[in-house]
DNA sequence: ATATTATATTATAATTATTTTAAATATAAT
DNA sequence: ATTATATTTAAAATAATTATAATATAATAT
């Protein structure tokens, strides 16, 4: 954990931003809940536990900043809120998501499945791809089994 | 145009919804501006031109309804607003988008480039894919040429 | 050390986007 | 005609995000 905080600190410094206590607390929450897809409000409530004096606007600003620096990805699954998803160290792209329409769970795919597709987009549309957002909507493994056993 | 309105009317009737004048006006705007990616507010302003008495809430409700029936896709490019994108007739999936970070333009790819990827997701993750959202962020053809000529 | 400047944060208010409510109107069914 | 159902309107409510002004913190120059 400390190692990653340190790396993020360096990334901030490289753009002459500081890792203030509030920013550090926010990053810690994101690291602790790496598997989750927290909204700004979610992050705010969790950060308040370790830094009770923080303001919601600061959390928004921090997330926005981390987003610009590509430390987190701002994603949107179609409910009204933006969610913030920490990138793996050194990852060039936002990872993919599997959203289950039955139970609402969100799985992550870290493997980049779009390399071939991006080549096609690059060559056939002349579009220079920098990043992507890919989300699949459907039914997760878990919910498929439930449905099957329920219907028998 | 009339043909497509008729089809949509049937789709609504199939779920026992009616194509009211307000809904028809909204659909007409979406058909006319099929290439665009309008926000609810955008749609509202355009619908007002042909049906001035319509309310914003009705537009929201209509878009939500069309969205449920998979006649339009509600998409989100990371600015704060939802945008509504008419599906091609008979299309099973939301089409792909190319968002240019230089000029903000949005191109569409109607071809489904994800068939192979979906097979992998299905087989290796056991996730039953129903739909997808794929957006590429990068630099469009147009802006690439501008950048090249400007830097020479 | 101290004054000066720049940057960041807080609390609150304001803004924007969207949804809900309640009353009125229209449509369809009996 | 009467009743039930669906839809719209306008207003109010809610949710998400951003702006503002005051304060605090840190960085630099004196």
pLDDT tens for A118-151 read 999 999 999 999 999 999 999 999 999 876 666 5
Give tens-digit pLDDT for B82-103. Answer: 999 999 887 888 999 999 988 8
A77-88: average pLDDT: 90
B140 is in an annotated binding site: yes
Q: What local confidence, expressed as pLDDT, does residue B152 receive?
A: 46
Q: Interior CA angle at B18 toward B15 and B23, to 5°? A: 115
Most confident of A112-121, B14-23, B142-151: A112-121
The length of chain A, given as a count of residues: 152
Domains in chain B (CATH in brackets) are: 1-90 (1.10.10.10), 91-151 (3.30.1490.190)
Separation in Å, CA B60 to CA A21, B34, B56, B71 = 42, 18, 6, 14
Indicate the pTM of the whole model. Answer: 0.88
Q: Protein footprint on strand C: which nucleotides are under 7 Å from a CB?
A: 7-13, 16-21, 27-28
Residue A42 Cβ < 7 Å to strand D: no
**Rounded distance between C-alpha atoms, residue B6 and residue B19, angstroms:** 10
DSSP B103: T
Q: Which residues contact A80 (CB under 8 A, 6 or more apart)?
A: none
Q: Which is higher by pLDDT, A151 or A76?
A: A76
What is the residue-averaged pLDDT of chain A?
Answer: 91
Give the pLDDT score at A152.
Answer: 47
Does residue B59 contact residue B26 with C-beta atoms inside 8 Å? yes
Contact (CB<8Å) B125/A107:
yes
Locate A51 and state its tokens.
């830094």
**DSSP letter string, A48-108:** HHH-TT--HHHHHHHHHHHHHTTSEEEEE-SSS-EEEEEPPTT--SPPEEEEETTT--EEE
**Position of tokens 């194509």?**
B19
pLDDT, tens only, B68-86: 999 999 999 988 899 999 9
- Residue B125 to residue A141, Cβ atoms within 8 A: yes
Give B149's pLDDT tier (boundaries 50, 70, 90): low
Q: What is the pLDDT of residue A89?
A: 82
Task: Lay out the sheet containing B96-100: strands in order across.
Answer: A106-109, A96-100, A128-139, B128-139, B96-100, B106-109
**What proportion of chain A, given as a percentage, has pLDDT over 70?**
96
How far is A22 from chain B, CA to nearest CA, in Å? 25
Instruction: Note whether A76 and A54 are within 8 A (CB).
Output: no
Check CB contact under 8 Å for B134 and A129.
Answer: no
The full DSSP string for B58-88 is HHHHHHHHHHHTTSEEEEE-SSSSEEEEEPP
Chain A residues at the B interface, defined by Cβ less than 8 Å, are: 74, 76, 78, 98, 100-101, 107, 109, 113-114, 116-118, 120-121, 125-141, 144
* Of B30, B117, B130, nearest in space to A132 by CA: B117
Whether B11 contacts B19, CB under 8 Å? no
**B132 annotated as belonging to a binding site for a ligand:** yes
């Amino acid at each position: 954990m400390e190692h990653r905080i340190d790396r993020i600190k360096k990334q901030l410094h490289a753009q002459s931003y500081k890792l203030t206590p509030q920013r550090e607390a926010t990053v810690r929450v994101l690291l602790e809940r790496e598997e989750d897809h927290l909204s700004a409000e979610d992050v705010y409530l969790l950060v308040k536990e370790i830094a009770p004096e923080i303001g919601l606007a600061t959390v928004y600003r921090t997330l926005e900043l981390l987003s610009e620096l590509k430390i987190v990805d701002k994603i949107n699954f179609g409910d009204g809120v933006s969610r913030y998803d920490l990138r793996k160290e050194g990852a060039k792209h936002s990872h993919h998501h599997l959203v289950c329409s039955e139970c609402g769970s969100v799985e992550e795919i870290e493997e980049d499945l779009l390399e071939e597709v991006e080549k096609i987009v690059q060559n056939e549309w002349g579009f220079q791809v920098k990043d992507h957002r890919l989300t699949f909507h459907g039914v997760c493994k878990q919910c498929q089994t439930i449905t099957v056993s329920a219907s028998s």
